[in-house]
Structure 1
């Protein structure tokens, strides 16, 4: 018999109950009987008054204890559902979480606020806090730009849905920043494909920049890179159009000088084909 079995049998013997005392001891081992002599008086605790919770939250905001402030405001949301105190508590919870840098929590609270109070006077602020929570997490262009895209979408919604909002001007500025970030990512991938001589894939990325982000600073380079890629593909007409659009809209650009020089090496001149997708893309914005 192994050592572990001997230990198990020894422990079982030590725990064996004497026959005469087994009934009493079994009663004592029943957890239902442990507190039978205690007096328990059920008591319902009253909720903290709403105004007190709100003021507690404000006091904690004042000393920049944002996590504690968020807890006070969250208590309003839980204890006073379907009331104006819930609405105030939820928007202030979102703000406190945002100030604390708890951006994922702030995003969740903002979404909940928008879902519960879509017609509230300050719902634009909930959109703005959600957008800013994504915006403050935007990574460099070498990484995934999902947060940039989500921030851009929310800033665009603020501009479209709430044109008189006090957050519109800042949303316009930050929308441009996020769009520039998204365009930068496309350009980085496009350059990679170009260096790998995967010209079709490169054209796809540069085309995306001109289709979605042609008001960003990356549009000039995208046109020059299209000139380069189309020449490599043996499609000179599109290359000439890209260079012509570049020269028309950005005549002093260093990218235009490079595109022009590239065409001249093949004995070509910038010439716009009005039927080209490049020409049509720019004419939609009145830039062609």
Structure 2
């Protein structure tokens, strides 16, 4: 029975249950993004200030009143869906005002809060397109990535959403490297890449069970060449050792075991690879011309 990486202890989360994805980014950071409640200072009663209801929305209402009603509904009442109506009304009635710009970002955030991710992505993309010079554009770009990220599926399913999340979060790092969201984006990208590697490992193990060792090698190769910084690379190298031994390609098996031992000498996976090679009458020995050796040298791990 083939083990997966989670068999080696509690260091990594199960690849089939990606529910440990951290969600600390957009939520709870509202006051750090926009000076949302400054205009409320000195008001003796929020309920008096926002005494109007949806029926009051009309051409005569000023932008700041609509905006602050939306903030009140979002922060005090926890009614993100109702808040969206207020923010969108600002854009409808005062499309060229600074309040409309702020309301568009708040619309994206409110959609995110209600898990209407496609709407959140749409509003955030519109903000990035319309206000590229805004100090809050990094947050809007981060919201796009976070909305994709929160929809990452189980590793048994198509991973297009994971790839989109990584791409959007990489934009945060590339365009706004000094923003407070760059570090959060890096953490999410790391989890996303681990998820993609887990998908490759799951398919490769399936091929091994079916004795399709060439198919398995091709999948493990993806992990070794593209996802070396994930927790799955150690098992991938051991599985390569196993597949190559099964195919009688001893020199590649020796190289896989040697690279594993060189980069992860204390790994339990190396102990397994070492036993496999020794059991075949060989020693771990790195062939510098092997794709495995070149892959690790390329990123400075070999």
TM-score, with length taken from structure 2 = 0.77
Q: Does 1:54 align with 2:67?
A: yes
Contact 1:241 1:273 in 2 (8 A): yes
Query: In structure 2, what is the equivalent of residue 11 of structure 1?
Result: none
Runs of at least 5 residues in structure 2 that lack an aligned partner in the other structure: 1-57
Match of 1:100 in 2: 114
Equivalence for 1:214 = 228
Alignment partner, residue 74 of structure 1: 88
* DSSP 3-state at the match of 2:301: coil
8 A contact 1:237–1:273 mirrored in 2: yes
The offset of 1:84, in angstroms, is: 2.2
Q: Work out whether residues 204 and 220 of structure 2, in 8 Å CA contact, stay in contact via their aligned partners in 1.
A: yes
Q: Is the 8 A contact 2:254 2:286 kept in 1?
A: yes
Cα distance between partner residues in 2 of 1:219 and 1:75: 51
Residues 77-86 or 277-286, more deviating: 77-86
Please report how far the alpha carbon of residue 107 of structure 1 lies from its aligned counterpart in structure 2 after TM superposition. 1.2
Decide which structure has greater helix share.
1
Secondary structure in 2 matching 1:163 = coil
Paired with 2:100 and 2:221, the residues of 1 have a C-alpha distance of 48
How far has the Cα of 1:96 moved from its partner?
0.7
Task: Report deviation, 1:213.
Answer: 0.8
Count, aligned residues: 244
Query: Which deviations, in whole Å up to 9, do the C-alpha atoms of 1:6-42 show, x marking residues without a partner?
Result: xxxxxxxxxxxxxxxxxxxxxxxxxxxxxxxxxxxxx
The whole-number CA distance in structure 2 between the counterparts of 1:228 and 1:272 is 16
Counterpart position of 2:137: 123
TM-score (norm 1): 0.81
Q: What do residues 176-207 of structure 1 show as CA deviations (whole Å, max 9, x unaligned)?
A: 11111111011000100111111111111111
> Is the contact made by 2:127 and 2:137 (CA closer than 8 Å) also made in structure 1?
yes
Contact 2:241 2:254 in 1 (8 A): yes
For 1:146-195, what per-residue CA distance to the aligned partner results, in whole angstroms no more than 9, with x for missing partners?
A: 22111112222212221111112211111111111111011000100111
188-197 vs 229-238, which moves further:
229-238
In structure 2, relative to structure 1, the CA distance for the partners of 1:182 and 1:47 (3 Å cut) is farther
Is 1:172 aligned to residue 186 of structure 2?
Answer: yes
The answer to whether the aligner puts 1:264 opposite 2:278 as a matched pair is: yes
TM-fit CA distance, 1:91: 0.5
Aligned mates of 1:79, 1:201 — CA distance in 2: 59
Q: Quick check: 2:59–2:93 contact (8 Å CA) kept in 1?
A: no
**Partners of 1:145 and 1:208 in 2: how far apart?**
15
The residue number in structure 1 matching 2:213 is: 199
In the alignment, the residues of structure 1 paired with residue 265 and residue 214 of structure 2 have an alpha-carbon distance, to the nearest angstrom, of 27
Shift of 1:47: 5.1
- 1:138 aligned counterpart, secondary structure: coil
Counterpart residue number, 1:246: 260
Q: Is the 8 A contact 1:47 1:79 kept in 2?
A: no
Structure 1 unaligned spans of 5+: 1-44
Structure with more contact order per residue of length (Cα contacts < 8 Å, sep ≥ 6): 2
Task: Indicate the SS of the match to 1:70.
Answer: helix
